[in-house]
Structure 1
Amino acid sequence: MDETVRATAAARLTTRGARTRSRIIATAADLMYVRGIGGTTLDDVVSVSKVSKSQLYRHFVDKPALVRAVVEFVGERTIDVERERLGNVRTFAGLRRWRDAIVEQNALHDGRYGCPLGSLANEVSDQDAVVRGKLDDLFKAWRELFEGLVHRFQEDGLIPQDTDAAKLAIGFVAAVQGGYLLAQTSRDVAPMATAIDMSIAHLDLLSRERAEGL
């Protein structure tokens, strides 16, 4: 076999291996979202992803390694979705459309499974410092999206310039996460909608106070 053929074969195997790894992670993420990390075994992942155990262990030495990969995958997917939803919001109407989208998405399963990131954080933050650090970074990225929204509202004169964007962002993330938890326990997204509405109402109050002060 000449070098060109060897290189082509190696590239094909590498591509195939990357696809297999991605399939394992995506399958594990879906299973862990529904069953939880503790309720998902490596045998489950092997069966559903239709790979062999040797293929799984070629990419992940143990379950913690797979969980870390799942956290990265779910985190990037979650933040990408939120970046698309929040990245260009500059009006209260746009903010309420974001609220409707996130609540309606959670309503598809009656709020049963909670936030993908929050659920992972609840299960592994105390067991894996690496995962905890990664989740902390992801939640920071989420808060930064809300901070960006607040800054845009300030730039457009909707709320006062001295509004503390960082604190408001923490409040929004807390409202979303608390809303997910309330929806999960009640199997009803109404409490989630109310929690987010309260954060939006606070912004609206700031807007009204600014308008009255002009």
Structure 2
Amino acid sequence: MTTTADPTTTRLTARGAKTRERIVTAAADLMYIRGIGATTLDDVLAASGVSKSQLYRHFAGKDEVVRAVVDLMGERVIERERNALNHVSTIAGLRRWRDALVQNNALRHGAYGCALGSFASEVADQDDVARRALLALFAEWQELLAGVLRRLQDTGTLPPEAPVDQLATGLMGALQGGYMLAQTARDVTPMATSIDMALTYIESLTTG
């Protein structure tokens, strides 16, 4: 996974690393709920309990904090999706993956959407470093979906000519669009419908 963190962070002392982690974790929680634009460095200071001098020892400004947050949230999302998708090789498994995402988002009535999608909408035109990091994360997530579809081909469920990469793109688009619709409606029904439409199309291509 592409990271945006300053390489000097690898030389932090244990205490410094814990301070930096506290800052990034607090910023991630705030930015996910409030949004990047609505979260100030003063908010991060208050939530993390560190001093301004400590924050600026690790970050030159808000842009660097945002990039570190993108890295952290990206690690969380990709690890979750890797665990969920790496062993899926059936349509039923894909539907269980869909159910878990929808049910998890329903706990918040869809209010916050996908962390990566929400961040992308805020930083795409503001910070090219963060945008490229998010692009790499989406590509990694999409490749996990493509891996499932290739396994469906390997088992004969999908025909060899099925356009796996395009199908993975469509499924990712349905997922991210569904997150946005659910966030706007404060209701996960549009999210469930969007993913279901994509999965129904994939299922229509199956040979069984």
The TM-score normalised by the length of structure 1 is 0.90
Q: Distance in 1 between matches of 2:100 and 2:147?
A: 19
Please give the residue correspondences for 1:110-189 in structure 2 after superposition, counting only pairs within 5 Å. 110-189=109-188
> What stretches of structure 1 move > 4 A for 4+ residues in a row?
none
In structure 1, runs of 5+ residues without a counterpart are 1-12
Q: Distance in 1 between matches of 2:202 and 2:65?
A: 40
Q: Which residue of 2 aligns with 1:51?
A: 50
Deviation at 1:92, TM superposition (A): 1.6
Shift of 1:203: 1.4
Identity among equivalent positions (%) equals: 57
For CA contacts below 8 A with separation 6 or more, give which structure has more relative contact order: 2
SS at match of 1:171: helix
User: Cα deviation per residue 1:135-167 (whole Å; 9 max; x = unaligned)?
Assistant: 111110011001100000000110101111110
Which is higher, the Rg of structure 1 or of structure 2? 1
What letter matches 1:151 in structure 2?
Answer: R
Instruction: Give the secondary-structure state (helix, strand or coil) at the position aligned to 2:13.
Output: helix
Counterpart secondary structure, 2:205: helix
Q: Matched residues in 2 for 1:201 and 1:32: separation?
A: 34
Helix, strand or coil: the match of 1:104?
Answer: helix
SS at match of 2:111: coil
2:189 maps to 190
CA deviation after TM superposition for structure 1 residue 194, in Å: 0.6
**What amino acid maps onto 2:101 in structure 1?**
I
Within 2, Cα distance between the matches of 1:146 and 1:93? 14
Residues matched between the structures, number: 197
Q: 2:16 corresponds to which residue?
A: 17
Q: Deviations over 1:87-121 (max 9, x none)?
A: 11011221111011000111111000111000000
Q: Which amino acid aligns with 2:57?
A: R
Letter aligned with residue 36 of structure 1: G
